Amino acid sequence: MVLVALSLAMFLSGKSTAQISGNRVHIELTRGNWYFTDEDSVENTPLVWDHRWFTNLVNLPDGGPTVRNPRVRWETALPLVRVSPDDPSIFSADPMTGVYTWDFTGVEVAEPAHLPLSAWDAEETVTEPPRFSASRSVEPRRLTQQVTDQTITVTVMIEEPPPAGANNLHVAIASPVIAYDTHRLVTGQFVSQTLVPGWHSSIDGVSASWNIHPRDFTVGDTYTFQAILRAVKSEDLLGSPLFVPGS
């Protein structure tokens, strides 16, 4: 069985940058709350969110070269309690000086791969409702052929006003390529997405996403998002496994 969880994220603060042209690379540093579930729906009830710092490097698909041997260095006074990944072959830490380093020598970040890293401080969880409800459906759910087109539908209902200072609501359906995951049982490419009135949409092969400013929706609004993923099974994956792309 292969299953990718339904996930929610609340970004409390962050900064990102990307090159304007040529070999575009997106880099971000965000502090936020994440919630993961293997279920296909989330209600607007108090959830225990994973509270962490998150950074990511994405080699955006523009026909540019591969990013090779990336090295990420954090300097912080925060009392970090754990990080991910924490493999000692790539990660080193000096808590006395607050220096944390990931050295991915030999790793190639080809388009459109991600290089996600996470760190947790002393406050690891936050309990609060998401302020919306969401559900997901996938058809078909099982990969009976070597190549299968899956239709993923996500429905979101705005239940409460967004937090003060919120300036973006982002919905994504994704099957990301992680640069340091060397063997994937299922690969895929998003080949289409529906347009949703009032929302800005984008698709980059490994994800389909939609964005809207909170001023442009009201409590009680319900939106439906849909995308088609062309999923390809590895030859090592036998039978008809369950595969549910994340959202």
* CATH number of the domain bearing residue 89: 2.60.40
Residue 245 lies in a domain: no
Same domain, 33 and 50: yes
Do residues 26 and 111 make contact, with C-beta atoms less than 8 angstroms apart? no
Residue 105 lies in a domain: yes
Last residue of a domain, one of 109, 127, 145: 127
- pLDDT < 70 positions in the chain: 1-22, 246-247
Q: What is the pLDDT of residue 8?
A: 53
Do residues 191 and 228 make contact, with C-beta atoms less than 8 angstroms apart? yes
Q: What is the pLDDT of residue 5?
A: 44
Q: What is the pLDDT of residue 9?
A: 53
Beta-carbon count within 10 A of 245 CB: 24
Percent of the chain exceeding pLDDT 90 equals 55
Residues 6+ apart with CB under 8 A from 86: none
Same domain, 123 and 139: no
Q: What is the pLDDT of residue 221?
A: 95
Question: How many domains are contained in the chain?
Answer: 2
Residue 137 belongs to domain spanning: 131-233
Same domain, 86 and 143: no
Last residue of a domain, one of 82, 104, 127: 127
Same domain, 111 and 198: no
pLDDT averaged over the chain? 86
Beta-carbon count within 10 A of 240 CB: 14
pTM for the predicted model, two decimal places: 0.83
Same domain, 12 and 123: yes
Residue 238 lies in a domain: no
Last residue of a domain, one of 97, 127, 157: 127
Triad 183, 103, 205: Cα angle to 5° = 45
